[in-house]
Amino acid sequence: MLSNKLRLIINVLILLTPTLINLLKHAGSIIVSLLVFLAIIVFFTTKQATFSRREKLIMSSFAGYFLVCLIMSVAHNFFDQESILQWEVDHELRMLAFVPIYYLFTKIKLKEWIFWHAILSATILSGIYALYVALGTHFSLRVIGPYNACLYGYLSITLAFMSLFSYSYFYEKDRKLVILPLFAFACGLLAAFLSGTRGSILAVPFLLILFLIQIYKYSKALNLKQVIVSLCAIFIVFIFLFPNSFMLKRFNKAFDDAKYCIDNYDCVDCFKKNQAARMRMWVESLIIIKDHYLFGVGPKGWQEKVTGRVNKKEIAPGIEKFQSPHNMYLAMITSYGILGFIMLLLIFLLPLFTFAHAIKNNKDKPAIINIAYSGLSLIFSFMLCSLTGTLFNRNIIISFYSIMLAAALSIVRPYINTNSSMGSK
């Protein structure tokens, strides 16, 4: 049995996790290390937990992600006549942390109020921080967070929608408290907006549809009217701010670059150094995939292939400085082939189906539905943002996804195992 002191330490860590990860450099790595250490202690000092087949599949997908990347990395090193001991899988190795962290959360029986307060506090503080930085620069620069603007934008928009799904939770507590998730949502949206991250803003309509489905199916009519009016008010403010914003300039540049790239891609001397960089990287990835879709070219292969084409003056220079194509799906296929792509999909889709199962089979338990939808928004957000960023090549993203996914799954766990047999130890 867990001591009260240990349980308190773990709960405090969870409460602080999303805030520290999005606002403090290296916090994600430290927190993951602490949670894994505590999980080992709990594993050896308490009765071991049992897991259902569904849970085992999810944990296996994270382990499989690492193993596939490791095997493919070693194989590419061998065939490229490099040392097989030089592995480019340090980020993939961190995926394994999900397993002990999930084990730890199942043992402490994480409470939903801790989950919601952790998410809401992180979202509100992210918005306040972004506004403070923007005011200090007279709104002339992107808010970069602890690492860079894109990562800050991706996490902020994820937090915004995860917070929004707590609407029904606070509505049931006290109708006046619905101001908290709405304010948090506005703060998260503001943080993403001020970061100038186009990929995060493009995810908004899809995540908003998910929220409207939840609020329409599982909330009262008055609740629905209130939330729609509130959301409309929030978006009207952002639409008013948009015309003179840094974000609009970035969208206009993206459209201009895309058109220019389509018209002039074969012209080696037409491009400036960073012009249409993402689109050019995506095109080069598709060229690599065409010839190497089964096994990829290894984690260093994308940059080597692109650099080779630049040196031969087959394509315009500028994109060879990037180590990956700024698209997680293309990065996995070019690096590890179809199998790597499948493993990436599994760490998204297996927990996604689990949350969907919890929603479908617990229609009389709104508390579980709220957590499950928040988990869905986490996954959908990362799936959408992976279209414009190589997300799992950054420790901050891996830490956030592993911890928050484990937290949400551990809360809905008793309600997804009801109709499935429990596995062995």
Please state, in angstroms and rounded to a whole number, the distance separating the CA atoms of residues 120 and 182.
Answer: 10
Please state, in angstroms and rounded to a whole number, the distance separating the CA atoms of residues 115 and 242.
Answer: 32
Round the CA-based radius of gyration of the chain to a whole number and report it.
22
Query: What does the pLDDT read at residue 250?
Result: 86
Please state, in angstroms and rounded to a whole number, the distance separating the CA atoms of residues 309 and 307.
Answer: 5
Matching residue, tokens 């799904």: 165
- pLDDT below 70 — which residues of the chain? 1, 81, 83-87, 220-222, 417-425
Residue 217 exposure: Cα atoms within 13 Å on the Cβ side: 17
Please state, in angstroms and rounded to a whole number, the distance separating the CA atoms of residues 275 and 319.
Answer: 9
Query: What does the pLDDT read at residue 229?
Result: 87
**What is the residue-wise DSSP string for 152-196?**
HHHHHHHHHHHHHTTHHHHHHH-GGGGHHHHHHHHHHHHHHHHHT
**What is the residue-wise DSSP string for 365-418?**
-HHHHHHHHHHHHHHHHHHHHTTTS-GGGSHHHHHHHHHHHHHHHHHHHHHHST
Please state, in angstroms and rounded to a whole number, the distance separating the CA atoms of residues 10 and 155.
Answer: 22
What's the pLDDT tens digit per position in 202-219?
999 999 999 988 888 877
| Burial call 347-366: b when 16+ CB within 10 Å, e when fewer | bbbbbbebbbbbbeebeebb
DSSP symbol at 24: S
Query: What does the pLDDT read at residue 418?
Result: 54
Please state, in angstroms and rounded to a whole number, the distance separating the CA atoms of residues 205 and 301.
Answer: 35
Q: Is the dihedral of CA 103, 104, 107, 111 positive or negative?
A: negative
Query: What does the pLDDT read at residue 81?
Result: 66
Element (H, E) at 285: helix 277-292
Please state, in angstroms and rounded to a whole number, the distance separating the CA atoms of residues 130 and 134.
Answer: 6
Determine contact, residues 318/384, Cβ cutoff 8 Å. Answer: no
What values do phi and psi take at 72, rounded to 5?
Answer: -65, -35
Query: What does the pLDDT read at residue 33?
Result: 96
Q: Is the dihedral of CA 68, 392, 209, 125 positive or negative?
A: positive
Query: What does the pLDDT read at residue 37?
Result: 96
Domain ranges for the chain, please list them.
4-244+334-416
